[in-house]
Amino acid sequence: MKKTAVAMILCFAAGAAFAGANCPKYPKAEWMPQDQARTKIQAMGYKIDKFKVDGNCYEIYGQNKEGKKAEVYFDAKTLDVVKAEIRK
């Protein structure tokens, strides 16, 4: 019985793993247009390798000002940084 519960948790958990970050949800009309978002993110000092929509976020893979690999999630309306990892 206990093992069945573990198996069920495994099944549910499989869906959770690849969600990226918890960005606030906005109606599509309120999202910053993608071209504008790219330009602003570059103006913040990031070099963008990949730009994409991940859930409620804009997400980039690229480099920060110091040239370090960066994975950054942005609020899709305000471009606040919601979550970021800078690699050493």
The answer to whether the beta carbons of residues 75 and 24 sit under 8 Å apart is yes
Strands in 1-88 per DSSP E = 47-54, 57-63, 69-75, 81-86
66 binds another protein (CB under 8 A): no
28 binds another protein (CB under 8 A): no
Q: Are 20 and 55 in contact (CB under 8 A)?
A: yes
CB of 81 to another protein, least distance (A): 10
- Contact residues for another protein, defined by CB under 8 A: 3-4, 6-7, 9-11, 13-14, 16-21, 49-50, 52, 54, 59-62, 69, 71-73, 83-85, 87
